[in-house]
Amino acid sequence: MSKRPWGFVVGGLLVALLLAGVVSNYASAHPDGLDSSLLRGCTVDAEGEITGGSCPAQQERDHELADSPLADYGVRGLDNDFLSTGLSGVLGVLLTFAVGGGVFWLLRRRGPQQPAAGAATAEAGGSAAGSPADDASRAARPR
């Protein structure tokens, strides 16, 4: 295996960008399991508005970051929903990749842990004592 698998990383990034930028626009508009369970006990009209009954979804309120630039799976200021959703996904992937890459870069800069002196000698095929018998047996082994 190569020391730096750039092809794998770039390929994974391209697949993630494709999924986030294009395929995310075709996600289901129907509520997921959590949303549907919160609506249990209420009556809902065709637009999804609660018209009666009693359910936990009636206590819903806006999130603290509802006014952020990437709220509600879109980019604020873009009128084209397809472009807004796709760009939001692409920006999310790039931001996640940048943060993850930065963490791995910082961890790599720390360097590997130094093995104990005896372990390094054993990995090289010798012993800590380095006896002449060991040297003779290493010389007799085919390479």
pLDDT at 70: 84
The answer to whether 13 and 93 have CB atoms below 8 angstroms apart is yes
pLDDT of residue 37: 85
Q: Please write the tens of the pLDDT for every residue from 102-143.
A: 998 898 877 666 666 655 555 555 545 555 555 555 555 555
Side-chain-side CA neighbours of 129 within 13 Å: the count stands at 4
Q: Write the DSSP string, 18-30.
A: HHHHTGGGGS--S
What Cα–Cα distance (Å) separates residue 20 from each residue in 30, 85, 93? 19, 8, 7
